[in-house]
Chains A and B, each alone.
Chain A
């Protein structure tokens, strides 16, 4: 079983719709949760990171973490064609327990004009 599960998609939505992405994980040591966006032939670009449980909002993006369910989400409001990319969740344990990132497989998102 993978440590982090993420639906590969593709997820196709019309412009202006809300994009809903999520990951589940099995390692209860994870405390830092990140969402990366990756365009074709580019490296992952950090969108948001959150620590432990709760919500975080940044512009059109909202990240949610539910540690009790081992479930994290990313919502993109008012989606634009430029949001079409692969979205990767990533997680890490605190420094003392190791600081490498564990990634989900990524969800491909297509926003249609």
Chain B
């Protein structure tokens, strides 16, 4: 079974530019999450999709961040325009749901974003 795939693995852009991160979840997983870790801080929740619908986007920092999940499959996270404080590692995770009572997430390797 393929895991959660993220692209690109590393992106270096200048302040004010746009970057789009992509996540391909495990096939069949309805739940897709975006998390972020900025330098020196803990991993923090950004948002949660159930299929193509946003279930919870309470962690999105501001309106420069736009997440989509086309047809309930892959997801993109666009940052426009990027600011220095957006630098960090963006993790995508997916889960099949709550069949066992717990929401067990499988994480991707992350997309490292550096804004200069």
Chain A positions within 8 Å of B, measured between CB atoms, are 2, 4, 6, 32, 34, 36, 41-46, 49, 51, 88, 90, 92, 95, 98-106
Q: How many B residues touch A, CB cutoff 8 Å?
A: 24
With a cutoff of 8 Å between Cβ atoms, the chain B residues found around residue A41 in the complex are 109
With a cutoff of 8 Å between Cβ atoms, the chain A residues found around residue B56 in the complex are 98-100
Please name 8 pairs of A and B residues whose Cβ atoms are closer than 8 Å in the assembled complex, sorted by A: A32-B103, A43-B91, A43-B107, A88-B43, A92-B103, A95-B98, A100-B48, A101-B43
CA distance A106 to B39 in the complex (A): 13
Query: Is the beta-carbon distance between B42 and A51 smaller than 8 angstroms?
Result: no
New contact pairs (15) apart from A43-B109, A45-B107, CB-CB < 8 Å = A6-B42, A32-B102, A32-B103, A43-B91, A43-B93, A49-B102, A51-B102, A88-B43, A90-B43, A99-B98, A99-B103, A103-B42, A104-B42, A105-B41, A106-B42
Query: Is the beta-carbon distance between B91 and A44 smaller than 8 angstroms?
Result: yes
Chain B positions within 8 Å of A, measured between CB atoms, are 4, 33, 35, 41-45, 48, 56, 59, 91, 93, 98, 101-110
Query: Is the beta-carbon distance between A100 and B42 smaller than 8 angstroms?
Result: no
Query: Is the beta-carbon distance between A44 and B107 smaller than 8 angstroms?
Result: yes
Query: Is the beta-carbon distance between A100 and B101 smaller than 8 angstroms?
Result: no
Contact of A100 among B59, B98, B106, B109 (CB under 8 A): B59
